[in-house]
Amino acid sequence: GENVEQHPSTLSVQEGDSAVIKCTYSDSASNYFPWYKQELGKRPQLIIDIRSNVGEKKDQRIAVTLNKTAKHFSLHITETQPEDSAVYFCAASRTNAGKSTFGDGTTLTVKP
Amino acid sequence: GAVVSQHPSWVICKSGTSVKIECRSLDFQATTMFWYRQFPKQSLMLMATSNEGSKATYEQGVEKDKFLINHASLTLSTLTVTSAHPEDSSFYICSAYSGSTPQYNEQFFGPGTRLTVL
């Protein structure tokens, strides 16, 4: 089955700095890679996703890059703000399968 | 985006009792729903895939007789934790996807149910 590894497990940055979280996956058939933000006690919220036919996607301060050959994808957050503090999960799944495998999560702390 | 609700949001029960958790898609039909379990400061662990009109598919290591799943309609799936024990205490989250492109892979998560077994 699919195995997703996520690094780092914790990340602390100063407000205004950039944050990068990296994930690797094992199943070459995976072709959908979402990123979720989860605040304490709440549901995961999709913040950005990328499909395997795209190498990069950007939405304001958030971007995701995908390297299919190396089987890794990364989340980039620029100009971080305290409200970006949360746990971030990456995931991987195959089209039409729906089932996602999640990384272990990264706790991001943005210090004011 | 689509809305998924869960009920109850939290429940406390005595050891040995059964607890039913409902997951509803409010504004779309969900052919497939997923049930996850999340321990504090840990990732989401997929327990089972619930398919409308057929038996659920359980992940390895998940006891199907312990965690009963019923997907009776295109908008409702239920998870029943039978004979609950303290080790079943956890945060249970459901998700759903409608199967329609281009959102085919996007999962919409419920708010979660905090189960505490005394």
Mean of the per-residue pLDDT values of chain A: 94
Q: B69 has which bridge partners? A: B79
Write the pLDDT tens digit of every residue in B88-108. Answer: 999 999 998 765 544 456 788
Q: A19 has which bridge partners? A: A77
Q: Is B49 on the interface with A (CB under 8 A)?
A: yes
Closest CA to A8 of A87, A61, A79: A87
Q: Is B51 on the interface with A (CB under 8 A)?
A: no
Whether B109 sits inside 8 A of A45 (CB atoms) is yes
Task: Judge contact between B67 and B48, C-beta under 8 A.
Answer: yes
Q: Is B26 on the interface with A (CB under 8 A)?
A: no
CA gap B110, B78 in Å, rounded: 12
Write the pLDDT tens digit of every residue in B34-65. Answer: 999 999 889 999 999 988 888 899 999 999 99
Q: What are phi and psi of B86, to 5 degrees?
A: -55, -30
